[in-house]
Structure 1
Amino acid sequence: MIKIRSAEITDLPALVAIEQLCFSKEEAAMSDALEKRIHRIPDSFFVAEMDGVIVGLINGPVIESNFITDDLFADIKANPVSGGHQSILGLAVSPHFQKRGIASALLVQLEKEARANKRETITLTCKENLISFYESQGYLNKGVSNSEHGGVTWYNMSKKF
Structure 2
Amino acid sequence: MNVKRTNWLAAILLTGYSALLIRFVVFKAVPTIAIGHMRIRFAGTHTGPSNLVPFKTIATQLAGRGNHLVAMVNLLGNIVLFLPLGFLAPLAFPIDTWRKAIVLGICSGLSCEVLEVVFRVGIFDVDDLLLNAFGVLLGFAVFALFEPKSRIPSRSSPQH
Q: Higher relative contact order at CA 8 Å, sep ≥6: structure 1 or structure 2?
A: 2
Q: Which has the higher helix share?
A: 2
Q: Which has the higher strand share?
A: 1
TM-score (norm: length of structure 2): 0.29
TM-score (norm: length of structure 1): 0.29
Q: Mark the structure with the bigger radius of gyration.
A: 2
